[in-house]
Amino acid sequence: MPAVGTNRRVTVFGSVEAFGRGRVEVVCEGQDSACFLRYLEALDRRRRETGREVLLVLDNGSAHTSKVTSAALDERAEWLHPIFLARYSPHLNLKEREWRYLKRDCRSHLAETLRGFVDDILAGLSRLGGERLDIVDRVSEWFIAGHRKEPTGRPPGRPKGAKDSRPRKPYARKNLPAPT
């Protein structure tokens, strides 16, 4: 979905309860295992509040099949039952239809800022409906500020170290051509 002056992606991990009673959606800046774990934390909260078991339909994306994700799914095996779809079969996942509606609605205009872009996505998710909505905004401020990765806290540029304390020798070329 486009935002003015940026080429960024925002990922939404989400699920819908049977008969559309409720939904759990988590908006993140990445499409990796760490963001999927944030979604699993939101499912943990929903599970504690409702006490229901969860059947979770997953495609074979790398965030769903990594070692970290597999370990997290195994920890929740008593109440979370993942069902992996066949490869290249989005027609089997009913959630894909909702993604299509969300993209259609959010593509009708350009957001002024990246924060406005994320807010449009959150508003679109709430318009999808349900009796109980757990929509979590986990987009980091460093992403909104325009960074592609989380800043390390180091100053920009070449690091200063022990080699910088003594002056460098001038480069002397040793292999000169023979005089002709």
Give this prediction's pTM.
0.76
Neighbours of 57 (CB within 10 A): 14
Instruction: Give the whole-angstrom CA distance, residue 67 versus residue 57.
Output: 18
pLDDT score of 87 more than 90: no
The domain spans of the chain are 11-148
pLDDT at 31 over 80: yes
Q: How far apart are CA 108 and CA 154, in angstroms?
A: 40
The residue that leads in pLDDT, 74 or 177, is 74
Percent of the chain at pLDDT exceeding 90: 19
CATH architecture of 11-148: 2-Layer Sandwich (3.30)
